[in-house]
Structure 1
């Protein structure tokens, strides 16, 4: 007798909240892991996530809450990871559950700084999870627009297309369209790079460059992303599709983009530390900038925009001077 796989979300931020809202359109119940038990109690009391997207109300009778990471993994077949990449290794450090029969879907869009690994590589190497059991959720999709039920598109990537289709079907609802791909490496690396580009977009906005230059920046950025993903994982892919170009555009331009917001603060003169403290949320691109710089020491791909952001964030270079140098490299 066939039984539906049990799905749990691991993480409690805005994207986790948006994914819970989407999934509950199609499944009877979900598990949901919160690191802080107090947040669970507040959620049960007020029927919404106390920290994020508080306007989204949930039927809590359809949610099994967990604050034990091992129990969450033990009792579910599909785990959707939403913990920021900078904290993922620490969050899973106590995990001792057999993983090889699980399907783990990354909704993280970041890189693990401890080993400069995308999430798929990390899961494969640390937990021996086969790539065929690893999925990636690619955008373009902001949690805030999901909360407002504005039409959005997602790509579910997995080398096992059947698994990708099964999960994509569970994401379909009146305001979500889903597609599938087998490119877990390209979609993950593209999502990492677009966060760095979004910081660049914010920096130039903070420096009062206009829309004309922003257009040139993004036109060059998609070429930069293509050069890198083609070098790291050379397969046939359409870089103009929504999982790549679309995700870049929304992250670089949207008012909801935390990476663009972070970059804007840097461009206006905030220090990196001050910008991080004032945002109260993680800008994944900050950590990704250093990791991609280090990874690219091996591949030596021409990444002028990413290197400009690295020089500003990690080498202490003046943003205005660095962007002026960048303008001479763009076409």
Structure 2
């Protein structure tokens, strides 16, 4: 058993102090991790993948708010639970894509516990990453990548490197990428804002670094820009091995801003579970602008956008099917979004914003 210090933080200053490298953990060279829901971190500790010597509990911090911003956007507190976020009336009204993505993930029990900030930081579900006996560059830099030449069915087809072919597992993050969210973080040096496109990293030569967070930084909020113009035409699709409680093989978020004449003014697309981060291709989105939905050539344009999204895709044998699957998923998501947002949140409705456990 590995001893772990438990450090409840009464305010943000205390949390940052506990996580600072200079903090005395009463253990040589100890590492502290922030914990809110703990739905991924505790699993990683049980599997002996990570060994923090202290857990800084941030649940008492005033970071569970969900509130409108002055410009018509929305601020999501980092410790707000996924279920509360999905069912919040402003999220359901203006950001139905986010509701759909959250409800596609995990199980009701986990969504009731998982935090928004933790969702951004969850680690890959690569089998080899979770197996301490298998060499893994994400777990031990320089050890090698066991997935290369191994079991690759769930692995990346885009943005991979010779050092790692793992994928990012989040559903919520795919929606946040399409919505062009901004992540607000705090550290001893103050507050900084990170565009969502820059928050997660591709593996490159350093697959152990999932994000651009600096040591000791704490996620405090996720800010969503105004998106009411997308609310009527959004779709989130997730393809997986079973109907629930399974990570995606491929997922796609689609947003369309369509004028009264049926012409696309703006489009957003993001693919999930195909790369080390949610995958966007601006050229594919730009291609869709100016085309009329429902026209004879609309599906052809959707297919061209899908081809651009998958440009350069490369399978590892067992996951070659994901290329064709992702292409069909993009076309289908665009078609569904063009027809109008389907509100499926009532299928999971429960009193008080919580799901049944």
More strand by percentage: 2
Larger RCO: 1 or 2 (CA < 8 Å, sep 6+): 2
Same fold (TM over 0.5): no
More helix by percentage: 1
Which protein has the larger Cα radius of gyration, Structure 1 or Structure 2? 2
TM-score (structure 1 length as normaliser): 0.32
TM-score (structure 2 length as normaliser): 0.30
